Amino acid sequence: MTVEEHLAQAKKIVEPFAVEMASLDPWRLDVVILPENLIPVLQALKDAHWGYLSAITGLDYPPADGQEGQLEALYHLVMNGAVLTIRVKVPYAHPELESVCQVYPAASLYERELMEMFGFVLKGTPSTERLLLADDWPQGVYPLRKSFQSGKPQEEQA
């Protein structure tokens, strides 16, 4: 199968869950979904044997102009050169998502990074141990948030 055929297959699988879809490159498809559809869409992809989870990354959209900020988790799946990114936004006030370890057990490392670097709460994740930061790193300080100031809890940095 070609990259285009793999992406067409992925599009067919994720379309029922999609809020928005964009193909910015011929080898890539970005799909925005609601948080409650995270496990079902990843399970559907796995059941169809579509690719593997290559990474989970985070983005920070801080509060601005009276609007509530958001955090976004991006689940990157790859299949023979085709890249599918599942994007899920959650509010700063409740940055909770379900753990995807029930679908992809190896996601635990990525989830630990999201928790300690961005402040996501991943319900049901098998490990909440620190991965990158020192054991004495202050609680509530997330170094990959745009509001990060060394040593101050995030809520004091506004």
Residue range 33-82, pLDDT digits in tens: 999 999 999 999 999 999 999 999 999 998 888 888 899 999 999 999 99
Mean pLDDT over residues 125-150, rounded? 84
Q: Do strands 82-91 and 70-79 pair parallel, antiparallel, or not at all (unpaired)?
A: antiparallel
- Distance CA(30)–CA(10), nearest Å, equals 10
What pTM was computed for the model?
0.90
Query: Confidence class of residue 157 from pLDDT cuts 50, 70 and 90?
Result: very low
Q: Which long-range contacts (CB under 8 A, 24 or more apart) does 147-151 make?
A: 147/60, 147/62
Question: What percent of the chain shows pLDDT beyond 90?
Answer: 72
pLDDT of residue 133 exceeding 50: yes
pLDDT of residue 155 exceeding 60: no
Query: What SS3 class is residue 19?
Result: strand
